[in-house]
Structure 1
């Protein structure tokens, strides 16, 4: 039996998910299926997790696009369900209960960048190369890149990257707002795991609630977003953790959260 194309392990409430098909970790249909399987399993184990770090196996790539050979057999009738399934799988990453941090090393192109944009936070190594090269194949980003890209880039900048297929460095990606931090390549996992550990120490229901509200309100008008925000915030008033956080603050001690 061949090894899984996506693997994970959980230690101290941090799940490390690895795209396991080096050197390029292409997002083939099989790899996406494995990615969906992993995040469904993590959903079932969400009581054991507080944050996720998603990385590519090997040293050359986070993920460098799709299986191009498979495009030769596509028709409109087969392409549509394929894309719909990709959207379902990527949404599992985007809407996972706890924050997902992308640790980007090497190439992060096409579907790989689209996957990274599903994550809550992106840390990039200095050697990272990002881009949407799809126009070189006479297509465009179709795994959510068009829908999500505008949340990170200004319209003109986004069009420039998509229309030209230009690859950009980690430094440019940081300047453009595609990644939140650039770190030395050898320190990438240490930095990403450090962030995950920092998040895991916070009130878990507050973190999960914040992610839920951010994802649900980013396309809403302010008046609608306020209603969602207020409803979710008020529900936290019924939790033991909220009272523990306030009590610990008053008593000047470290809170002990139980995620309930």
Structure 2
């Protein structure tokens, strides 16, 4: 298993669990963490697709990711500050585009950059202890790691504007109510819930999941007509796979499918 200075990896069933492991800083996105996230993605995209899903969480009981590293930001010049933001744009886009589903298991604070990292995942499971927010305005800043783009996609434009303009922090139950989180669990049930969902995904066609995810990412921002055209392309791409041949045959023959993953 690949080793990183600020991240730890573990495997349970079909899920690879990526833990941001900097509890003393509440798992803040220091440059070292961002560099390791890029290195992880390089590794995963070449060797990690044996896993059927990825779960991202934070070390400790307090924090998923508390945000950007403000102490480091204070020492940055303009060019370094912009490069920091752009590097996180690359990281979040790459997580968003992985061929397998990515679940954020938010175990505590998901603030600023932490909320933005969670938003780059396919969906979010939250502990009852979790809290979310884009508090950048309290520092005279605005979201810089994708929050102003992805938060409206998740909760709607008006709610996103309210959260960003006020910098308000919300608890897990409100995140569930507005559609930011898919599920809220007891703290000790958070990772098991995410792993169980990856197990459900592992029981279906890998190629279909990959095609569906790719198409849905590409549909974001398209009008209905263009999105339907993209869906038709995905539908035909799936139809020609070996998984589809096997799945349809299994249905007709009333047996369990044995998907080859092709």
Q: Structure 1 length normalisation: TM-score?
A: 0.95
Q: Which structure 2 residue ranges, 5 or more long, are not aligned?
A: none
Q: Given the alignment of the two structures, is residue 236 of structure 1 paired with residue 241 of structure 2, yes or no?
A: no
Which of 114, 117, 121 matches 2:116?
114
The whole-number CA distance in structure 2 between the counterparts of 1:230 and 1:3 is: 41
Matching residue of 1:51: 53
* Residue aligned with 1:66, SS: coil
Matching residue of 2:210: 208
Map 1:74-223 to 2 at 5 A: 74-223=76-225
The whole-number CA distance in structure 2 between the counterparts of 1:6 and 1:233 is: 37
Deviations 1:41-74 (A, max 9, x none): 1111244111111111111111000110122223
The 1:216–1:3 alpha-carbon spacing in structure 2 relative to 1, beyond 3 Å, is closer
* Alpha carbons 1:14, 1:200 under 8 Å: kept: no
The whole-number CA distance in structure 1 between the counterparts of 2:49 and 2:84 is: 32
The whole-number CA distance in structure 1 between the counterparts of 2:34 and 2:11 is: 20
Map 1:27-42 to 2 at 5 A: 27-42=29-44
| CA-atom RMSD in angstroms | 1.5
Matching residue of 2:7: 6
User: 1:3 offset after TM fit, Å?
Assistant: 5.6
* Residue aligned with 2:153, SS: coil
* Residue aligned with 1:228, SS: helix
Deviations 1:84-131 (A, max 9, x none): 111111111111110001111111111000000000010001111111
Q: Which structure 1 residue ranges, 5 or more long, are not aligned?
A: none
Q: Structure 2 length normalisation: TM-score?
A: 0.94
The whole-number CA distance in structure 2 between the counterparts of 1:81 and 1:239 is: 41
* Residue aligned with 1:45, SS: helix
* Residue aligned with 1:259, SS: coil
Aligned length: 259
The whole-number CA distance in structure 2 between the counterparts of 1:152 and 1:221 is: 17
The whole-number CA distance in structure 2 between the counterparts of 1:196 and 1:36 is: 23
The whole-number CA distance in structure 1 between the counterparts of 2:49 and 2:133 is: 35
The whole-number CA distance in structure 2 between the counterparts of 1:128 and 1:55 is: 12
Deviations 1:4-59 (A, max 9, x none): 21222344331111111114111111101111211221111244111111111111
* Alpha carbons 1:33, 1:89 under 8 Å: kept: no
* Alpha carbons 1:17, 1:53 under 8 Å: kept: yes
The whole-number CA distance in structure 2 between the counterparts of 1:87 and 1:218 is: 16
* Alpha carbons 1:95, 1:212 under 8 Å: kept: yes
* Alpha carbons 2:152, 2:159 under 8 Å: kept: no
